Amino acid sequence: MTASPLMKEELRKLDEITAQAWYMTGRNISALSDLYADKDNNQIEMDRLIDYRRHLQNKIRRVLPDEKKKHPGCNHPFRS
């Protein structure tokens, strides 16, 4: 039995709501203030990871000339 397009859309929405409920349960989010605090924590972590990625990209760009000679065929996008 195939589901109608309307039923498929409703099932997709149900899956999304289920995932959100599991997320909130797993993080003990029971109030809107908890949700905002979780959002802020996620933003802080994302900013930290972005800074770390930037640090690694800069480190790759600053490879010493001797190290570049060791790997002449490297096509890494961050190498100059």
pLDDT exceeds cutoff 50 at 80: no
How many Å is the Cα radius of gyration of the chain? 23
Tokens of 20: 């959100």
Q: For 5-24, write each residue's pLDDT tens digit.
A: 999 999 999 999 999 999 99
Give the confidence band of 65 by pLDDT, cuts at 50, 70, 90. Answer: low
Token pair 């908890």 is found at 34
pLDDT exceeds cutoff 70 at 57: yes
The amino acid at 28 = N
Give the confidence band of 2 by pLDDT, cuts at 50, 70, 90. Answer: confident
Q: Give residues with Cβ within 8 angstroms of 3, minimum separation 6.
A: 11
Backbone torsions φ then ψ of 62, nearest 5 degrees: -95, 25
